[in-house]
Amino acid sequence: MTPQRPQGADAFPNAEVVLKGRARPVESSGTHKKAEPAPLYAALDLGTNSCRMLIARPKGNQFSVVDSFSKTVQLGAGLESSGRLSRASMGRTVQALRICQKKLEAHGVRRMRLVATEACRRASNSREFMRTIRRETGLSLEVIPAEEEARLAVVSCAPLVQPRTEQLLVVDIGGGSTELVWLDLTELEPAERPAALMRFSMNFKRTGTRPEPRVVDWISVPLGVATLREQFGDVESDSARFALMSWFFEEQLASFSPYSAQQKREGFQIIGTSGTITTVAASWLGLRRYDRTKVDGLLMTSAQIDTVIKDYLSLGPEGRRTDPRIGRDRHALIMSGAAILQALMRCWPTDRLSVADRGLREGLLFAQMSADGVLEHGL
């Protein structure tokens, strides 16, 4: 497996999202009419391990979630060895998508984007599976390229960018792959940086006259929490498996151009989005019941992250299985995700990580709403 690399500016679609201003007011005919509710939007992310969906409506410069769905489907189970999606994993996924379809229909959602990522990018029977989904559920999913997944991760994390940030690394740890995007924001005024990232595209060349984020480099490593765990499943020692996974993942970053660069700590920010990172944050806070408002935007130090990981290792597989901070759906994958996270924190010139409880679904929603002009200016 080799990381996906850009092949020049022409390799990227011009996917720039433009904020078109405030939502248009409801016209008045002289009588008091109740304003129509804002339209509903949906975003579905079918990943290697999970199927997740959000239904939301625009609210100011953000959105308000109306309904959601999340189910562990293990779509990529066995993909490493066979190169194909198994009948059992496809069956689990179709069942989850039927629930999504019913929710979309019940809410009358007309504006939606439904995407699949790494498992469907790699599987030889992916096209056949997309046809099966359409036939069984009526839903049309698109398999998006890694660069689009990386771009949407950046868009979703834009509200968490600090005004003083000049160099930004956005990391999205998925089930089957991990995307990293390194951005230079120095040409932007501090107050403009979050909003500019909402218009972000993956083009290396300037697309307009106004300042914009500059992509220094990006990479998609074909290792996520599920695929990395599967590669080292035959290692019996828990601690040895963890160490091997972490160092193996770091080796895959060697071609990432900023990897060996001497960067300044000042003005540098890492934003990390994934179930692994939010679980580590919740564990540090001691949350026995997950609370997004306490996790999203939390700043964690390397020492705090290491403390949580050491605690996970001391628990062992059985202890992690019953730890309420980790959860039943996460315990089997938490150490492979922690191995990736530890490798990333070894590599970069900072001892702090901004935790993002947001990702591909939020990026899909922001992109749709921004393109439709239903979001207000600013963040």
Q: Rounded distance, CA 279 to CA 233, Å?
A: 22
- Tell me, what's the pLDDT at 67? 97
Of 119, 145, 171, the residue at which a domain comes to its end is 145
In a domain, 249, yes or no: yes
List per-residue pLDDT tens for the chain, 379 residues long.
Answer: 556 554 433 333 333 333 333 333 344 444 555 667 789 999 999 999 999 999 999 988 889 999 999 999 999 998 988 999 999 999 999 999 999 999 999 999 999 999 999 999 999 999 999 999 999 999 999 999 999 999 999 999 988 999 889 999 999 999 999 999 999 999 888 888 887 887 776 554 555 567 788 898 999 999 999 999 999 989 999 999 999 999 999 999 988 876 555 555 678 899 999 999 999 999 999 998 889 999 999 999 999 999 999 999 999 999 999 998 898 778 999 999 999 999 998 888 678 999 999 989 999 998 888 888 888 755 4
Task: Check whether residue 159 and residue 279 sit in a common domain.
Answer: yes
Task: Check whether residue 160 and residue 45 sit in a common domain.
Answer: no
The CA-based dihedral angle spanning residues 26, 29, 30, 31, taken in that order and rounded to the nearest 10 degrees: -80
- Tell me, what's the pLDDT at 223? 94
Task: Check whether residue 211 and residue 241 sit in a common domain.
Answer: yes
Q: Rounded distance, CA 172 to CA 356, Å?
A: 10
- Tell me, what's the pLDDT at 262? 52
Task: Check whether residue 192 and residue 231 sit in a common domain.
Answer: yes
In a domain, 69, yes or no: yes
Task: Check whether residue 247 and residue 158 sit in a common domain.
Answer: yes
In a domain, 11, yes or no: no
H/E stretch holding 218 reads strand 214-221
Which CATH number do you get for residue 313? 3.30.420.150
- Tell me, what's the pLDDT at 362? 92
Which CATH number do you get for residue 91? 3.30.420.40
- Tell me, what's the pLDDT at 74? 92
In a domain, 376, yes or no: no
In a domain, 64, yes or no: yes
Of 103, 126, 145, the residue at which a domain comes to its end is 145
DSSP state of 117: -
Task: Check whether residue 137 and residue 157 sit in a common domain.
Answer: no
> Which residues on neighbouring strands pair with residue 116, listed in sequence order?
46, 143
How many domains would you assign to the chain? 2
Q: Rounded distance, CA 296 to CA 358, Å?
A: 8
Task: Check whether residue 217 and residue 107 sit in a common domain.
Answer: no
> Which residues on neighbouring strands pair with residue 352, listed in sequence order?
301
Asked whether 46 and 258 are in contact (CB, 8 A), the reply is no
Which tokens in the block code for residue 366? 């922001």
Query: CB atoms < 10 A from the CB of 24, how many?
Result: 9
Domain that holds residue 113: 38-145
Task: Check whether residue 100 and residue 199 sit in a common domain.
Answer: no
Of 104, 123, 145, the residue at which a domain comes to its end is 145
Task: Check whether residue 77 and residue 165 sit in a common domain.
Answer: no
In a domain, 187, yes or no: yes
Q: Rounded distance, CA 218 to CA 19, Å?
A: 24
Asked whether 141 and 85 are in contact (CB, 8 A), the reply is no
- Tell me, what's the pLDDT at 14? 34
**DSSP letters of 175-188?**
SS-EEEEEEE-TTS
Task: Check whether residue 60 and residue 99 sit in a common domain.
Answer: yes
Task: Check whether residue 203 and residue 271 sit in a common domain.
Answer: yes
In a domain, 235, yes or no: yes
- Tell me, what's the pLDDT at 118? 92
Task: Check whether residue 181 and residue 122 sit in a common domain.
Answer: no
In a domain, 203, yes or no: yes
- Tell me, what's the pLDDT at 209? 64
